Chain A
Amino acid sequence: MKLSSAALLCAAALFSLAPLAVFSQDAEAPSEIPTVAEETNSNPFLRGDQTLQLNAGFQIPLFLLPETGYGVDNLKLGGAFSFSYQYFLSRGFAVGGALTGSFNNTIGDQTVFIAPLGVTAAYWWSSMPLEFCVQGELGGYYMRYNKKGMFGPFAKAGGGAFWRISNSWSLGLQSFLWFVPEIHVGEYADLTQYSGFIETSIAAVYHL
């Protein structure tokens, strides 16, 4: 069970770093000033561009491993919200940071609250008026439940599709896989659990 959990962690980390590979290919290309046609038809996200993004949506519990009790069924559908900033380092590739909060009620009427803070890497492209992105995030979280707290590492990966409604705003839908390991050490190592959630949210992007 621990092996499969570790594999999940690696998969999530790889997925979140996928945009870096795209960036490295992009970085090797000779720099050039994009034409208007390129900006509108290929990739309008240029070096130096910045975005602010607000998300709000559902948080769907996916798994709790290892299953030591009633499993993920004890977590109910919850909510998630986030605020993020991104800066484009090159055409299409952006890095930034995100502050997120999510909550899921439990079958016993408690609430699990998770607040991740992470750095993001994303690749954006466009097929006007639609914009797309794939994104990964790595960071840490603070979790609360029953007056108890916990820190841990955090990763999420996913992407979204947006409709460019004006020069400054895009609206769209996003979906991310969250990986939230709860790590315990020493004599309490057997309390270590790995959890996964699917965040599905509406997103508003402001292009600075």
Chain B
Amino acid sequence: MRSLKRAFGALLVFALALQSCDNAYGIFSEVQKEIEQVGQDFFKKKSVSNIVSVSGNYYAATTILYSRPAAPGSSWSRMDIAGSSDRCVYGIAATATDLYVSTDGGVFSYDGTWTSIAAPAYTAPAGMSFYTDGIFAANNEVYVVGHLYDESDDTSINYYCLYLWNGASFDIVPTMHALIFGAGGVLEADETIRGVAYGGGANYWFAAEDHLYYSANETMSGATPVTLSDIWSIGSTRSGDVYIGTASGTLYMNGTADSKAVSTEGNPLSCVVEAPLNATDWKILVGTEILDVDNDTEGYFESQVALDDLADTTFDAGEDGLVAYSSSIYSTSVNDMPVHAFLYAGDLTEGSLFIAISSYASTKTHYGLYSSTWDGASWSGWQAE
């Protein structure tokens, strides 16, 4: 009986190994296709949280701010923030003309010259401390997230709130404040604010973990609630649609009427971008915040047809996508790592698609920022920045 069990075990191992074999995948031919990734050392095994484009320059953030001119072949360099090299970057956002940076030393704007912006004014209750966190831009409006942290409370509850830049100072967004702290407020303590986006019928959309609102006014006055929970991200695309990604991998467009389960492994969806599908159509790419780095099979998804409605759209994992160009180049660059942000700078005739990822958790020597170039007909494949 024991030998029978051993034989069965051996057979099972053999069957599993056999199942992992793929006649359609040439190992040595893929090895021969590999391209050595050579990028900036300061992006190697780093997490790039966001990349934006402002006035002919790209800006990327780890905990440090970097920039480069948009001209092809330009090099990245580190940027001091308002003359200081010691500021820790929490987030970056861009309007049409200005870069906004949230740091441990406050919020700054940059249009060629740095301007210090007073942090949101808030008198924290006794025993609580006030901090600013992430920063978002929507339709050239700038929002910054602040939170109150109860230092004395062992449960360490955070109370988040949203502030709007009015051109002179950050004002609390009254509707959000009332929802969070006012009588009958619906947001719960420790509920993270996910972001603000503009679109989906000329509205400002606000998302927290379990709450979604939209309003025609940037102050969110008269906001309409949308029933949706488990929200992970919110963002808008070139065509003016607002996408909401959930922690379980479902993507919603302009509310909840149109949705698609994108991540087959139930990974959180982190960001969306539109990029050329061909010379006449656009498609979308959806980033996933994979949790099991190096052992997952996702990274981002591409719709392989011009997007009409989400429900009928098929998404392929990056390895099978057009942007990846070659599965091996994909495998040796952005595969299996959490995606934080996309940026497409260009049009249907030419442009550059950037992907900001977390590479520090990978056992492989990858970079935090890659780009692929569109020449009007095809993609160059991911290359380290």
Contacts and interface: CB of A to CB of B under 8 A. Distances in A.
Given A70-B34, A149-B21, A109 B364 contact: yes
Given A108-B37, A109-B364, A148 B32 contact: no
B28 A193 contact: yes
Given A151-B17, A191-B29, 18 more contacts: A67-B32, A70-B34, A70-B35, A71-B32, A106-B34, A107-B35, A107-B36, A108-B34, A108-B37, A108-B329, A109-B332, A110-B364, A146-B27, A148-B25, A148-B27, A150-B21, A188-B23, A188-B26
Interface string A186-203: 101001110100000000
A107 B33 CA distance: 10
A106 B28 CA distance: 11
Interface string A96-130: 00000000001111101000000000000000000
Nearest to B19: A149
Interface string B134-149: 0000000000000000
A75 interface: yes
Nearest to B326: A69
B20 interface: yes
Q: Quick one: which of B21, B24, B26, B364 has the most chain A CB within 10 A?
A: B26
A147 B332 CA distance: 12
Interface residues of B, number: 29
Specify the main secondary structure of chain A where it touches its partner: mixed
Interface string B34-56: 11110000000000000000000
B29 A68 contact: yes
Contacts of B34: 69-70, 74, 106-108, 110
B32 A182 contact: no
A112 B366 CA distance: 17
10 contacts: A64-B32, A68-B29, A69-B33, A106-B332, A108-B34, A108-B35, A108-B332, A109-B364, A149-B17, A191-B24
A106 to B, nearest CB: 5
Interface in A119-164: 142-151
A185 interface: yes
Nearest to B35: A108
A71 B28 CA distance: 9
Contacts of A192: 26
A184 interface: yes
B215 interface: no
B7 interface: no
Given A107-B34, A109-B332, A69 B29 contact: yes
Contact of A195 (B22, B28, B37, B331): B28
Contacts of B377: none
A157 B163 CA distance: 72
A36 B29 CA distance: 55
B267 interface: no
B365 interface: yes
Contacts of A188: 23-24, 26
Contacts of A151: 17-18, 21
A142 B16 CA distance: 12
Contacts of A69: 29, 31-34
Interface string B292-308: 00000100000000000
